[in-house]
Structure 1
Amino acid sequence: MSTLTVNVRFTAKPGREADLKDLLQSMIEPTLAEEGCLGYELYLHPTDPRRVALLEEWVDADAMATHFRTPHLKACAAALEDILVEPFQLRRFAEIA
């Protein structure tokens, strides 16, 4: 079974950059504590502070599906609706064997 890597891209509304960064940073600790989470890292765009990328790694798709049902992710998703200029973009990648 191969690991699952997820890339999520976010763009904050003007003036909401700090809110986005703070919200996503608050997700690091509880997400890393989840069974099956191998990595959860945030990256700020080098020239546009409104854009943030998230790189996640999970042992498998089931672990990530469990993550989607956690209270902290549900609360984050609800808060993102007010912060983002557009819906986030999520892409899943499987390891090449």
Structure 2
Amino acid sequence: MSTVHVLAIITTKPGRRDAVLELFNANVPAVLAEDGCIAYEATIDTENAGPMQTEFGSDTFVVVEKWASMAALGAHANSDHMKAYGASTKDMLADRAIHILSPV
């Protein structure tokens, strides 16, 4: 089995990013305890990164994930704690894009 990387680009409704991140961070320990989870963290634009950066903006964060396999990622997506997290944040989100990537 090959590892998979995920970049989940989450855009909240204006001014809701901190509230969503609070719920996200409360869920992180449960995700890190999942079989096959190698890495899972939320990231935001780095301040003062200079002209090389294309900013996501103040209402967006990117979840950087690494999973041992697609099966592990699938189990994660269907876990009870992720379903609860999704239900608790759905009204605060404007958009999300999930990119599943494989190393070459």
Alignment-derived partner of residue 30 in structure 2: 30
Q: CA RMSD in A?
A: 1.3
Query: Which AA in structure 2 matches 1:5?
Result: H
TM-score by length of 2: 0.84
Q: Which residue of 2 aligns with 1:3?
A: 3
Alignment of 1:13-52 (within 5 A): 13-46=13-46, 48-52=57-61
CA distance in 2, matches of 1:67, 1:17: 22
Which one has the largest radius of gyration? 2
Query: Which stretches in structure 1 are left out of the alignment for 5+ residues?
Result: none
Distance in 2 (CA, whole Å) between partners of 1:64 and 1:41 is 15
**Counterpart-to-counterpart distance in 1, 2:2 and 2:39:** 15
Gaps of 5+ in 2: 47-54
Q: CA separation in 2, counterparts of 1:94 and 1:27? A: 25
- Distance in structure 2 (CA, Å) of the matches to 1:45 and 1:83: 20
Partners in 2 of 1:33 and 1:40 — Cα distance?
A: 10
Task: Give 1:15 deviation, angstroms.
Answer: 2.2
CA distance, structure 2, for counterparts of residue 76 and residue 45 of structure 1 = 23
Q: Could you say which residue in structure 1 is the equivalent of 2:103?
A: 95
Tell me which of 49, 59, 69 is aligned to 2:78: 69
- Give 1:7's aligned amino acid: L
Task: Output one character per residue of 1:32-77: Cα deviation in whole Å (capped at 9) or x when no partner.
Answer: 0001000001101246221100011100000011111211100111
